[in-house]
Amino acid sequence: MKVILQQSYMNLGEIGEIVDVKPGYACNYLIPQGIAKRSTAANLRVLEDQAAKLAEQKAKDRSTAETLIKQIEGLSLKIVKKVSEDGRLYGSVTTTEVEEAFAAQGVTIDRRQVVLGQQIKMVGEYSLLIKLFGGLKANVPLVVEGDGKKRAAYEEEEQYEEEYADSHSNDRSEDGDVHAPQAKSSETPEA
């Protein structure tokens, strides 16, 4: 089914383009959301009449995207999440969290513009791809860190174990095994 895009939409096209999509996608999502209109003769005539206005809108969207790229270029995102002792995240980093990290730095990005490339489930450094209007793209470094609460509890437990081992080191025999202290027996050997 052919539709005319009323706004630029990720992986589909730019405003004013005629694209071919599946009928269910067009009827159930694109048309009700106001993203597209059916490609009829009447709508094509309206599109031709608004060609100058659409060209102006495209130029405005492109300049906005270029400005956004300039803002993004120097940024480095940092997300702090709960982690296990081995550095694995409880869950994974989502595009919504990336959107919130951008918002914290004063940059407005739609989560649908963020391409993670892979699931982020470990602490470390990653590179995000941001897709903008007209095929413009930007790479942004992302650092995922642990929240430190679990790690602090783990280190405290290790410290306790070391102290315990030090205080009970006199209970060790020459072979390294831990032996319980021997009670003195009151029995006398029989003769």
Residue ranges of domains in the chain, CATH in brackets: 1-50 (3.40.5.10), 73-149 (3.10.430.100)
Cα gap 110→125, rounded to integer Å: 22
Say what the pTM is. 0.58
Determine the pLDDT at residue 32: 94
Determine the pLDDT at residue 49: 84
Task: Tell me which residues of the chain have a pLDDT lower than 50.
Answer: 191
Cα gap 28→7, rounded to integer Å: 17
**Helix, coil or strand: residue 146:** strand
Determine the pLDDT at residue 62: 84
Instruction: Pick left, alpha or beta for residue 40 (phi over 0 → left; psi -120 to 50 → alpha; otherwise beta).
Output: beta
| Burial degree of 113 (CB within 10 A; 0-12, 13-18, 19+) | buried
Determine the pLDDT at residue 56: 85
Tell me the CA distances in angstroms from 152 to 53, 81, 155, one per residue in order: 59, 14, 5
